[in-house]
Each structure stands twice: as structure tokens, then as C-alpha cells.
Amino acid sequence: MEFGPEFWTFVAIGVFAQLVDGALGMAFGVIGSTVLMSTGVAPAQASAMIHIAEIFTTAASGISHYVNKNVSWTIVKRIAIPGVLGGIFGATILANIDGKLIAPFVSAYLLLVGVFILVRAIRAFAVVEASRRGMPVIGFAGGTLDAIGGGGWGPLVTSTLIGTGHVPRYVIGSVSLTEFFVTVATSATLVLHIGWADLTPVIPLVLGGLIAAPFAGLIARFAPTRILMVVVGLLVIGLALRSLLRYFGVL
């Protein structure tokens, strides 16, 4: 890929997506996948691009959260292995289904994720006692949907754990750190099935993500969470709708 407008556009997407992800513990995959699919990239290809980029960004982000003491190892231990298994399962399904057939369903899923993020931003989380029940199931579901949709680990896992009473700061840090292992498993599975061809946009996405990732832990402590969630929710909804309208010939 040449260092033209397209390259710097993907760098900017990587920076923005990772800054938001660092603040919310979600959204790099959702933003990246929605943007890629809105430009016509096939679902499996988009998911592979995003997850390969996330190997680097989640590693940097996880280290940042660890340094800033945002990680709960109790949470990590309960969601890591189920998340990895879910990622492998979801990637295998995605890689073996025709891209044109699944594209509208993935766009619809991303649209729902955008709505979910927006609702979570508008509606305050109820104050409840923290519960560990169901955490492995949440991890597996998050890994599966993340692989199929190219994003969703953060919106599903982070929001659910916060909603069940866990401290947001530790949820964001733990989910971000665990995402590295889920991403490695998902990426390896997708590359095994579809190969390395046409993954060049990964380079500027990684570059942009790495520029922003070191600030993840700091951002999580001070960022205006609700405002960012509204912005991300509206952005994902708009891009997903655009993809669906293009698919059905409206645009």
C-alpha cells in the first residue's frame, strides 16, 4: 500500500478506534469492521484485517492497563479460555460461509451492537452486587460474535460485566488485556482458512492503533465515558445502515 490518502485514512481510523477502545474497553473492532465493510470489504476479510491489527493494539493496550493497575486477574481467569474458544468457533463459521450471503447479517449485527452501545450510554447501569456467575458463558459468546462480526467482544463483555456490578475500571482493563488472547486465536483461525492475501490495510490500522494504545490506561481513568459511547453508537449505526442500504441497492 502506498503512502497516499487511503493509507492515512486507515491510520486515522486506527488512532480514533483505539483511543475510543482505550476509554471504553470496546469499539476498535466494531468501528474498524463497520468502516471496512462500508467500503465493500468481505466479512471474513474485514474480520481478519481487524483481528490481525488488534494483536498489536490489544497487546499495547493491555500493558497500559496493567501498568495503570486496571486489571482484575479474577475476571481475566474466568473469561480468557472461553473467549479464546469462542473466537476459534466464530472464525471457523465465518470462514466457511459465502461472504455475499453473510454480509447483510453481519451488518445487521453491527447495527444492533451500535444500538446496544447507544442504549447503554443513555441508560445508566443499575447498582447491583458484583456477580461471577455466567462469566465463562459471557466470554464464549463474546469471542464467537467478535469473530463473526469483526467486533463485539468489548460491547458485549464489557457492558455485561459492568451491568452485573463489577467496577468499570477493572472491567475495562481486564477485558482489554484478555482481548489479546482472543484476538490471537481468532486471527490464527481466519488466516488458516483464508490465507494472508489482501491484508495490506492492516499496516496503517496497526500504526494508528499503536500510536493511540499507550494512552489506553490513562484514558480509561479520565475519559467522559457516556459522551464517547453516544458518539461511537451513532457512528456504528450510521455506517452499518449505509452498508445495508448499499447491499439492497438503495445507495
The rounded Cα 20 to chain-centroid distance in angstroms is 11
- pLDDT (0 to 100) of residue 198: 62
C-alpha to C-alpha distance for 186 and 74, rounded to whole angstroms: 23
**161 has pLDDT over 70:** yes
**128 has pLDDT over 50:** no
Per DSSP, 214 falls in state G
Average pLDDT of the chain to the nearest whole number: 80
8 Å CB contact between 194 and 43? no
C-alpha to C-alpha distance for 121 and 115, rounded to whole angstroms: 10
Kindly report the CA angle at 226 between 47 and 138, in degrees rounded to 5? 45
CA dihedral 123, 125, 126, 132 (to 10 degrees): 150
- pLDDT (0 to 100) of residue 35: 78
The residue that leads in pLDDT, 177 or 194, is 177
**116 has pLDDT over 90:** no
C-alpha cell read off for 201: 490495510
C-alpha cell read off for 165: 456490578
- Report the pLDDT averaged over residues 226-248: 78
pLDDT in tens, 190-226: 889 887 656 676 788 788 888 887 776 677 667 676 7
- Report the pLDDT averaged over residues 145-172: 79
> Helix 28-38 to helix 99-122 angle, to the nearest 10 degrees?
140
Domain-wise residue ranges, the chain: 5-247
pLDDT in tens, 55-101: 887 888 788 888 888 899 999 999 999 999 999 999 999 888 876 77
Taken in order 169, 175, 178, 180, the sign of the CA dihedral is: negative
DSSP count for the chain of H helices, then E strands: 12, 0
CB atoms within 10 A of CB 130: 14
- pLDDT (0 to 100) of residue 182: 95
CA dihedral 155, 158, 163, 168 (to 10 degrees): -130
| Residue 63 burial by Cβ neighbours in a 10 Å radius (0-12, 13-18, 19+) | middle
Q: Where are the beta strands (DSSP E) in 99-214?
A: none
